[in-house]
Structure 1
């Protein structure tokens, strides 16, 4: 890993044309550091500039959101202190998703719960993590059920089939990050989106995040292929979707999105007031604040 620190967020995002409903949740964002207080993991694949809670909350206000779910970033490994710090500074407006060592004690899991964590994330992107022990992850997923937590899983579409036995073995609610990164250039009836639909149809406890047009679109902003592919998915599975900015956009330093434009994707994938309310308020509230 290079010692050069990376900036991956827009310095001056536009104010969205779209106004989120009261109580809207940005249910997928991160904090980085501050490194002086919360060092990055020695195994981190990237070294970002600090993007702490104050910066996150200022952006939240600028974009028109009320709450956040802070997802533990891979650069912090299993040290969740930076995420817990963000939650603690939020006055109850944040919850979190942790990344844990499979050997974590029950007492430490309960401490994470007390700190506002409501889920655990398993990352299968080889460019971000060195080891993803499925058998140990399944055991962690079983151990968090008494806490009422869910599992967040991040993988790419090319390994969906090999992921199915693992997903089948997980208890409780599962949330798929960024829809498993399907190829948007295939269109809404493409093979990878059809495969993702089959996964959703097979189990009603699988949710997903229709997020990251900047990552997943084969086109430039305003990411038209993403809108065309994702709107039917949101309409058909409206009770199982949550949305987030992905700020501060890890590893996107060469294609940094304007966060105002990211928010303006919402009415394109959820064109009715009812769909927007489910996506931004009802569903994330049920998952993180119930």
Structure 2
């Protein structure tokens, strides 16, 4: 029986990480400090965000245990994105699915990421479970991602404004690649502004956000990228500050729809 007295807010933060310094981390990466699920739940609630998508960070490689334990705390409330290699078993994938995993992250920015060969090998098993593929990639890699997804039956979800940083020009080939991905049913995460050659209040990205929104239609979600590993632990940006560009560019009504769209993508 649930002891909850207040309803869970309906909004979604579709890109957060959780960390525990006691959990084994891969050598050569940053050493994470404790940033756990209760902390981000408490942080997100004032913005009407009660559902989170826990994305496996590169520091933990293919050991998804920390996310899986977090998802098990309150079954059905949150979702997760795993990092796996081709050796993962069907039983492992099924267990992940039962706990709320709904996709696999491919990281083309960090050297630990999966590549095209792993995509092709995993695609049939991911499709069978209704999972998608989340890409952390640079803008000049969008065309290659579109090639992979053509005919795969898998939905692409593009991290951090699809890598379209503030220096990307209006006639850059990446925009045509984004349109191709949109035609294939891709989604974009409005997230990671500070990873895109921009700094608060991120107004240098406003035109890009508007163009991405026009291209993607309703297939947009928002993510805070909490706990903002690009910043020192003692100097995190205010949580609401990375939400404001969505409201400023899209307006209150459409921003509210973006905040709720995770319910569809991560069903």
Separation in structure 1 between the aligned mates of residue 178 and residue 119 of structure 2, nearest angstrom: 24
Pick the aligned partner of 2:178 from 197, 209, 234: 197
What residue is the counterpart of 1:111 in the other structure?
A: 95
What residue is the counterpart of 2:193 in the other structure?
A: 213
Q: What aligned pairs does 1:5-16 form with structure 2 within 5 A after superposition?
A: none
Does the aligned pair in 2 maintain the 1:217–1:223 contact within 8 Å? no
Does the aligned pair in 1 maintain the 2:161–2:212 contact within 8 Å? no
What residue is the counterpart of 1:228 in the other structure?
A: 207
Pick the aligned partner of 2:26 from 16, 21, 41: 41
What residue is the counterpart of 1:14 in the other structure?
A: none
Separation in structure 1 between the aligned mates of residue 256 and residue 10 of structure 2, nearest angstrom: 9
TM-score using structure 1 length: 0.80
Pick the aligned partner of 2:135 from 153, 156, 174: 153
**Structure 1 vs Structure 2 CA RMSD:** 2.3
- The reply on whether 1:144 has 2:123 as its aligned counterpart is no
Does the aligned pair in 1 maintain the 2:71–2:80 contact within 8 Å? yes
Pick the aligned partner of 2:55 from 71, 75, 80: 71
Q: CA deviation at 1:192?
A: 5.4
Separation in structure 1 between the aligned mates of residue 25 and residue 49 of structure 2, nearest angstrom: 28
Does the aligned pair in 1 maintain the 2:10–2:50 contact within 8 Å? yes
TM-score using structure 2 length: 0.87
What residue is the counterpart of 1:25 in the other structure?
A: 12
What residue is the counterpart of 2:148 in the other structure?
A: 166
Q: Secondary structure at the match of 1:28?
A: strand
Q: CA deviation at 1:112?
A: 0.5
What residue is the counterpart of 1:19 in the other structure?
A: none
- Gaps of at least 5 residues in structure 2 are 1-8
- Gaps of at least 5 residues in structure 1 are 1-21
Offset from partner CA, 1:193-242 (integer Å, 9 cap, x none): 52343333442x21111212222143x31111112220232144232111
Q: Secondary structure at the match of 1:93?
A: coil
Relative to 1, partners in 2 of residues 1:201 and 1:235: Cα closer, same or farther, differing over 3 Å?
closer
- The reply on whether 1:184 has 2:166 as its aligned counterpart is yes
Q: Identify the range of structure 1 (153-162 vs 172-181) with the bigger mean alpha-carbon deviation.
A: 153-162
Offset from partner CA, 1:28-62 (integer Å, 9 cap, x none): 11111x232x22134x5222212111211121224
Relative to 1, partners in 2 of residues 1:133 and 1:217: Cα closer, same or farther, differing over 3 Å?
closer
Separation in structure 1 between the aligned mates of residue 159 and residue 149 of structure 2, nearest angstrom: 13
Offset from partner CA, 1:242-275 (integer Å, 9 cap, x none): 11100011233398432221122221232141x2
Does the aligned pair in 2 maintain the 1:179–1:196 contact within 8 Å? no
Separation in structure 2 between the aligned mates of residue 161 and residue 91 of structure 1, nearest angstrom: 37
For CA contacts below 8 A with separation 6 or more, give which structure has more relative contact order: 1
Relative to 1, partners in 2 of residues 1:286 and 1:99: Cα closer, same or farther, differing over 3 Å?
same
Paired residues, what number? 258
Does the aligned pair in 1 maintain the 2:21–2:31 contact within 8 Å? no
Offset from partner CA, 1:54-109 (integer Å, 9 cap, x none): 21112122443111111111111111111112212245321111111211110110
Separation in structure 2 between the aligned mates of residue 97 and residue 175 of structure 1, nearest angstrom: 11
